[in-house]
Amino acid sequence: MKKLIFLIFFIPLLLQGVTGADIYDRFLLDGIGGEFTEDEYILRDSTGGSLESETDSFWGEYNDIGQIKVTWDATNLYVAVDACSWGNNVILYIDIFDDYGMQDQSDLNTWMRNFKFYNFNPDFFLATWDTNTNPQFWKVREGQTRVADEISSEDYAGFDTGQLGRSMEAIIPWSTLYYSEERNMADYPSIRVAAVITAGGDFTSGPDCAPDNLGGMAQDSGQTVIIDNYAEILIDENQDGAADIDSVEPWQRVSFLETPPIKATPLEITKVEFPEGKGFNRDNEEQIPIRFYTNRLTQYYIYIYNMEGKQVGTATQVGNDIIENYYDFQWDGFNLSGKPVPYGIYILRIFSDSGEITRNEAFAVVK
């Protein structure tokens, strides 16, 4: 009889962390996040270990993201960010749709922070500041990159100046996230999330993010940071327009653009070469070849400027070597109107698509 009582008592505990048709009553928004079970910790490995370091914040443990927690039922998404934010802010970004969203948060009409986004562009974000118990939930206006509107959600934050083990929590209806026939779960079955600590003022960045960025964060809050990694969570595996609720363990639905922990690698162009020389004879050569080496593969563009600073041409990428980490481009010596440029000195400018780096090199077009 004692064994039977033991099983009856523990079976509900084993199941309570698994998604179900309605788990709303499990959640008490108290700024602690204790309602989430370990299978709802998104930043975890297959052994249950955390993928977010407790010592990776430039500003120490009192300004640090600890964990992102996610689960859901048929009606709502439940999220929490465990963190400590001593006098600073915590933001959770949510990206669902590929065709719009934030690109540069410093250009936004609200919560202007020095974050640019590469590889994902958040459509929503939940944000709060130290000691504020009422986070704000924002939706980037459809088709926009610079305008967000505040919308209602059930949420609470428990951050309290130096108190560890606190959370920002929210219950968000699926109807808020998938808000029209065109913005439906069947077509967009996954959500992508990332969280940051940021300084309190406009046009600032911060010391920690989760999951880890490829390029790292900033010790100086005046520095622009590129947020370029995320956790992606598959909500609707069958793409039938409904959240999967049949014994789903959310952490098993998680993938990353790059799996943390990541050693930060600030983007750098290490060398630029002109294989045929820096003097380009437009009359004898069809193309001027350009090669540059980089420590991290991403998308690059090369524009050509005259000495007055006016763009006169665009180089074309012709290949890259992922082993040697170099890119090959070429330019034909013609301007944007298709006419030969005058002889003289020109500036080749290399841009990374993420906005992290610009590199200038001079060369000549000669007779």
Whether 288 and 177 share a structural domain: no
Contact 135, 126 (CB under 8 A): yes
pLDDT for 203-225, tens place per residue? Answer: 999 999 999 999 999 999 999 99
Could you tell me if residue 129 is inside a domain? yes
Could you tell me if residue 64 is inside a domain? yes
Whether 252 and 288 share a structural domain: no
Whether 273 and 251 share a structural domain: no
Contact 359, 272 (CB under 8 A): yes
pLDDT for 180-209, tens place per residue? Answer: 999 999 999 999 999 999 999 999 999 999
pLDDT for 104-133, tens place per residue? Answer: 999 999 999 999 999 999 999 999 999 999
What CATH number did the domain enclosing 342 receive?
2.60.40.1930
Whether 273 and 250 share a structural domain: no
Look up residue 360 and give its DSSP letter. Answer: E
DSSP assignments along 276-328, one per residue = T-SEEETTT-S-EEEEEEESS---EEEEEE-TTS-EEEE-EEEEEETTTTEEE
Whether 194 and 333 share a structural domain: no
Top-confidence residue, 28 or 285: 28
Could you tell me if residue 342 is inside a domain? yes
Last residue of a domain, one of 256, 291, 317: 256
Whether 280 and 338 share a structural domain: yes
Could you tell me if residue 343 is inside a domain? yes
Q: What global pTM score does this model have?
A: 0.86
Could you tell me if residue 107 is inside a domain? yes
Last residue of a domain, one of 233, 256, 279: 256
- For residues 36-65, average pLDDT: 95
Last residue of a domain, one of 193, 223, 256: 256
Residue range of the domain that includes 79: 19-256
Whether 98 and 246 share a structural domain: yes
Q: What is the CA radius of gyration of the chain?
A: 25
Whether 53 and 158 share a structural domain: yes
Could you tell me if residue 47 is inside a domain? yes
Whether 242 and 123 share a structural domain: yes
Burial 267-280 (b: 16+ CB within 10 A, else e): bebeebebeeeeeb
CA distance to 183, 291, 330, 360, 364, per residue, from 271 (Å): 44, 8, 16, 11, 18
Whether 224 and 353 share a structural domain: no
How many alpha carbons lie under 13 Å from residue 309 in its C-beta half-sphere? 0
Whether 296 and 334 share a structural domain: yes
Q: How many domains does the chain have?
A: 2
Taking the C-alpha atoms of residue 57 and residue 209, their distance in angstroms, rounded to an integer, is 8
Whether 235 and 332 share a structural domain: no
Peptide bond into 261 cis (omega under 30): yes
Of the chain, the end-to-end C-alpha distance in Å amounts to 99
Could you tell me if residue 12 is inside a domain? no
Query: Residues of the chain with pLDDT > 70: what percent?
Result: 95
pLDDT band at 17 (very low <50, low <70, confident <90, very high): low
